[in-house]
Amino acid sequence: MNPQTITLISFGNFEKCFLEKLAEAVKHEFNCSADIQETRVDLSEFYDPGRRQYNGDKLLREVIFLNIPGSFKTIGLFNVDLFIPILTYIFGQAQLGGRAAIASLFRLNNEQYGMKSDDSFLLDRLKKEVIHEIGHTYGLIHCHVPTCVMRSSTYVEDIDQKDAQLCIKCRKLIGLI
Amino acid sequence: MEKKISILIVDDEESVRDSLSLWFTEDGYRVACAENARKALSRLESDNFDIILADLKMPGMDGLEMLRRIKSLDKDSIVIVMTAFATVDTAVKALKDGAFDYITKPFDPDDLSHLIRNASMQIALTQENETLKKRVDSLESVEDLIGKSEAIKKVLREVESVAPTNSSVIITGESGTGKELIARAIHTNSLRKFYPMVTVHCGALTESLLESELFGHEKGAFTGALFNRKGRFEMADSGTIFLDEIATISTKMQIELLRVLETKSFMRVGGNKEITSDFRVICATNRDLKSMVEKGTFREDLYYRLNVMNIHIPPLRERVEDIPLLIDYFIKKYCTSMNKPLITIESAALKRILEYQFPGNIRELENMIERAIVVGNGKKIFLKDLPLAKDIIDSSVESLDDFEKAFILQILNKYSWNISHTAKALKVDRVTLYNKIKKYGLKA
């Protein structure tokens, strides 16, 4: 495995071609190799019955402990509703300047908002969310450039408005240019 | 972000501290955490935070008590209270105790972002406000009051002592001595400086216009009153009203003015609603109000109401030593505004200016310097650039005959020795002029 490999690890049922497209986007954006792995973990222990959501803090810890050999950074991909104790929901979260991140497509799906499902939208949003969280693992904080993928997004509409790429300033900050 | 906003998170739950810390760090804020109120307060003693995000329910000292203690240390600190047990009572209590806002756990990510953004804006506004206040404080409010003479120093001392009070002031002095400037200096050095100073030139308005100007009017009060209009007294609320040329107001207006000064309330022209306004009054006149009172042309009661403090500005001719400073000041002022290099004044021109009586006082001197800069060669002010140079009779003139001779010669030269025009200008007949030319042996 290439030492600069970002591992995308699936914790849910994702179609192979979907994961491959995500990996391609990550590879392209961070100029590294991207590896896809799948794991079967019982998520029930991360489930909070009171909130009927999955604890993002615990899931992030799980990804950190996976410690995949040769993996430079790892992002866990979920299709469940994530929360952290203080927030009602999250799309994903990351160790700032660390090695691990998580992202979920649960709230990225049009159907969550009473609209018709749209796979291309979903893929586009998850690409942005994955690149955003990996960006945090590189130490990037939220960017004020409106189109930068590192711009903070609290609603899907915010995600739709930005691009799937880092702005020049963010690329420079992490040494991509 | 220009300056990193700092946030202190106070919560007994580690997961909350960690989550919020990560969230805010990702947003570019400087973040610190404390697990209880005691630690937060000790942290605040050594470090400043722009925003304090505090849990309401904590073991030991609760969030409300901590809020009160923080506010007693710094009343401007921004504290946002968060709790999982939201009740209207606690929210109201927190807000009454000075909390900036109140948020219920868990937060919607967007609510949290908005809350912090609003708090950041509040911080920016407070800082801007402080900066502006400092700038206003540091403004040399009496910067135009130039002078080193004892007379002007006395005026400045009087301004300084009367400014912080609410007393009425009458400023007396000849036209052009800077009465409005003194009024502004009093206003800008008073506690009312952040409110307007409203100026009314009483002499420029007829009685009915002045009434409408001072008290305002209701729509339809008179022909042409198409809208409701606030009067100057209303506009000067919390500030100062400066009534220039107060001696010119009619007896009727004097009665009205006295009533307003005593009650601080009035009605608009054509209105029936009593309006109150908190203003300080400063008046100015170039006339002797005391003698007007003696003659019965100015109400004695109004005079005493206004004349709590009298500041007299001496005419420029009585403070000649200030003239060079004033000249320097006006040269700088006008050269800068006209984008010209700073110039100096020729010693002969300065000597002539110092001998001049300046009936128009500082205003006349200012106009003189401005004109000289406009017409001059851009390097120095010469005698020929000064309007007084042509009109003034040479100071070597000592007798009335010498004066008449010099004056007739000056007018003859002005009209190119045209006898008819010169005689007309001098308001004498041609024969008289011929006789004078012969008497003084004047030649073209």
Q: What is the pLDDT of residues A61-77, one digit of tens each?
A: 999 998 888 899 999 99
Counting residues of chain A whose pLDDT is more than 90, the rounded percentage is: 82
Q: Do B13 and A85 touch (CB under 8 A)?
A: yes
Q: Do A141 and B106 touch (CB under 8 A)?
A: no
CB atoms within 10 A of CB B77: 19
**Which residues of chain B are within 8 Å of residue A89 when distances are taken between CB atoms?**
108-109
User: Does the fold of domain B150-314 match that of domain B6-136?
Assistant: yes
Contacts of A99 (CB under 8 A, 6+ apart): A64, A71, A72, A73, A74, A137
Distance from CA of B48 to the nearest CA of A (A): 23
Q: How many residues does chain A have?
A: 177
Euclidean distance between CA atoms B127 and B317, whole angstroms: 47
Q: How many residues does chain B have?
A: 444
Mutation test of the interface with chain B: which of A87, A89, A145, A156, choosing the one with the most B Cβ atoms within 10 A? A87
Euclidean distance between CA atoms B89 and B12, whole angstroms: 22
What is the reported pLDDT for B138? 44
Distance from CA of A94 to the nearest CA of B (A): 9
Contacts of A112 (CB under 8 A, 6+ apart): A106
**Which residues of chain A are within 8 Å of residue B18 when distances are taken between CB atoms?**
57
User: Cβ distance B10 to B53 under 8 Å?
Assistant: yes
What is the reported pLDDT for B133? 67
Q: Which of B1, B15, B27 sits opposite A152 (nearest CB)?
A: B27
**Which residues of chain A are within 8 Å of residue B107 when distances are taken between CB atoms?**
86-88
Token match 């392209």: residue? A28
Contacts of B362 (CB under 8 A, 6+ apart): B176, B177, B178, B316, B326
How much is the ipTM here? Answer: 0.84
Q: Does A17 touch chain B (CB under 8 A)?
A: no
Q: Do B18 and A89 touch (CB under 8 A)?
A: no
* Host H or E run for residue A20: helix A16-30
User: Cβ distance B231 to B215 under 8 Å?
Assistant: yes
What is the reported pLDDT for B413? 80
What is the reported pLDDT for B402? 79
Domain boundaries, chain B: 6-136, 150-314, 317-391, 400-440
- At B238-248, the pLDDT tens digits run 899 999 999 99
B150-314, what's its fold? Rossmann fold (3.40.50)
List residues of B whose CB lies inside 8 A of any A CB.
Answer: 1, 13, 15-16, 18-20, 22-23, 25-28, 105-110, 112-113
Determine the 3-state secondary structure of B250 from DSSP.
Answer: coil
A152: nearest CA partner in chain B:
B27
| Phi, psi dihedral angles at A100 (to 5 degrees) | -130, 155
- At A106-154, the pLDDT tens digits run 999 998 888 888 889 999 999 999 999 999 999 999 999 999 999 999 8
Residue B305 CA: distances (Å) to CA of B182, B302, B310: 20, 5, 12
User: Cβ distance B49 to B5 under 8 Å?
Assistant: no
Euclidean distance between CA atoms B157 and B174, whole angstroms: 20
Catalytic residue (choose from A15, A129, A133, A157): A133
Q: Does A96 touch chain B (CB under 8 A)?
A: yes
Mutation test of the interface with chain A: which of B12, B22, B111, B115, choosing the one with the most A Cβ atoms within 10 A? B22
- For the segment(s) B6-136, the CATH number from 3.40.718.10, 3.30.230.10, 3.30.9.10, 3.40.50.2300 is 3.40.50.2300
Q: Which of A88, A142, A152 sits opposite B108 (nearest CB)?
A: A88
Contacts of B321 (CB under 8 A, 6+ apart): B147, B148, B149
What is the reported pLDDT for B141? 47
User: Which residues are paired to B202 by β-bridges?
Assistant: none
Q: Provide the CATH number for the domain formed by B317-391 in this structure.
A: 1.10.8.60
Q: How far is CA B2 from the centre of its chain?
A: 32
- For the segment(s) B400-440, the CATH number from 2.60.120, 1.10.10, 3.40.50, 3.30.1360 is 1.10.10
* CATH number of the domain that residue A30 is part of: 3.40.390.10
- At B390-400, the pLDDT tens digits run 555 555 566 77
Please give the interface size between A and B, counted as residue pairs whose CB atoms are below 8 Å apart: 57
**Which residues of chain B are within 8 Å of residue A87 when distances are taken between CB atoms?**
19, 23, 106-109, 112
Residues in chain B, pLDDT under 50 = 1-2, 138-141, 389
Distance from CA of B84 to the nearest CA of A (A): 9
Range of the domain at A126: 5-173
Which pTM does this prediction carry?
0.53
How many domains does one find in chain A? 1
CB atoms within 10 A of CB B443: 8
Contacts of A86 (CB under 8 A, 6+ apart): B15, B16, B19, B20, B23, B105, B106, B107
